[in-house]
Each structure stands twice: as C-alpha cells, then as structure tokens.
Amino acid sequence: MKKQGKVVRWDSARAFGFIRSPETPADIFFHIKDFRGSAAPQEGMPVTFEEIHVGGKGPRAMSVQAGMSLQDSPGSRATARAAMPPTQARSPQQRTLNRTAPSRPASPALLLMLGWAVLLGWESRAGRLPAMALPIALLLNLVTFFMYWVDKHAAQTGRWRTSENTLHLLGLLGGWPGAWWAQALLRHKSSKASFLAAYRATVALHCIVLAGFLFSPQLQNLLPNR
C-alpha cells in the first residue's frame, strides 16, 4: 500500500535519508537505490513510498517516488492556470526550456572562460608557457567533467562518491570551466551553497596565481628554456 510523506533528512554523501509520514509514528529510512526519479532527493520533497519492516530495525521505505504537495495537486494547478493571464501561459516546449536552462547567469562565466583560453593560447605562442599548455588544459577539463558525471551517477545508484576535495583540486589546477559546465548541464553540485562558495574560491585562486606567474619575471625564470 502506497503511503505519502516528506523527506525530512537527506545525506548526499552517504546516499540515505529519512521520510516523515503522518501514517507512521517513526521516521522511515530509505536509500538512494530505493528512490525512483531523475533528480536527487532533497529535504522537504513530498514523496510516495511503500513501507516495509525488516529484522526489527524500524520502518524502511521502498519504491520511493517524488510526489506532489498540496500546492502542486492537479486541482490547484488547474485553478492557477485558469487565473493566469493569457500572456503568461507557457507551452510544453517553454516549460522544458525553463527546466533545462542553467539557473546561474552564463555570460560572465563564458566571458571569463574565453579570456582564460585566449590568455593560455597567447602566452603559449609568445613562449611564456609551454606549447602544450592549452591541450593539457583541455584534457584536464574533460577529465573534470567526467569526474562530475561519475559522482552524480554514484549519488543516484548509492555507490562510492568522489570526494568534494578532489573536485575542487581539479578546478584549482585549471579544470574549473569543465566543472562549471558539469554543474550547469548535469545539474550536479549546482545548489549546495558551501560547495559553490569553495568552487568560486578555487576559480579566483587559480586566476590570481596564473596572472601572477605570467606577469612576474622572477617566476618566468623558473620555466625551463624552450
């Protein structure tokens, strides 16, 4: 029998959480492998589930699916659409675009990436960086994007996660554009405030160190003769 409840705790690092339901006195444990949905569970998410009891360990939820809150019920949505002015009605294609578009302003990040790539290419051509600097940077960004994908897949399947420190280290070394695209396209690590703050710090530190190296004659002398 399906029950309804709300996610009251979710540990993304260990891929498990608890559901609170008015039909069960205790909070109900569930694992990511028991969750059915394209997006990861979040605290406050309404869900439907099947409750089981195994070995006296307390209730456990199976076949957990994202449900609808009272505000999202079909009746309330129909009422809201009826009250909406015609100019605000959205087509299914527009709703799809709204769900898939990045939630962050893209222009400043894209301009920074373009300037960073141009700077690497220019400095390599001028001999102030090794000739392979740009290809190595491209490879590093592909690896960074792949590691984000691996971590998201692990979060959805309950497998071993990639350390956040590893993701930040890749960004600090120069993989931050790949990390940005992974956050925007994969919708992974794109809403955790502490992670995003650390990510922005790695971007700033990388750019500062790179600029200091390129425009400091003393540091330039550390490079081997080319």
pLDDT digits (tens, 9 = 90+) for 13-64: 888 899 998 888 888 888 888 888 777 888 888 989 888 887 667 788 888 9
CA distance 119 to 116: 5
Residues 118 and 48 in one domain: no
CA distance 198 to 192: 10
174 pLDDT higher than 60: yes
Residues 147 and 47 in one domain: no
65 pLDDT higher than 70: yes
Instruction: Quote the number of domains for the chain.
Output: 2
Mean pLDDT (whole number) for 133-154: 93
Question: In terms of pTM, does the model score above 0.95?
Answer: no
Residues 65 and 126 in one domain: no
Mean pLDDT, all residues of the chain: 80
9: its two tokens: 């705790």
Q: Which residues constitute the domain of residue 112?
A: 105-220
Mean pLDDT (whole number) for 116-128: 86
190 pLDDT higher than 70: yes
Amino acid at 187: R
- Render pLDDT for 18-28 as a digit per residue (tens, 0 to 9): 999 888 888 88
Comparing 13-17, 51-55, 177-181, 188-192, the range with the smallest average pLDDT is 51-55
159: its two tokens: 């497998």
Q: Is residue 46 part of a domain?
A: yes
Q: Which residues pair with 35 in a beta bridge?
A: 64
Residues 216 and 156 in one domain: yes
CA distance 22 to 5: 7
Q: What is the pLDDT of residue 60?
A: 87
Cα 22 off chain centre by: 32
Q: Is residue 78 part of a domain?
A: no
Give the three-class secondary structure for 51: strand
Q: Are 169 and 200 in contact (CB under 8 A)?
A: no
Mean pLDDT (whole number) for 97-111: 62
Closest Cα to residue 13, out of 128, 117, 122, 158? 158
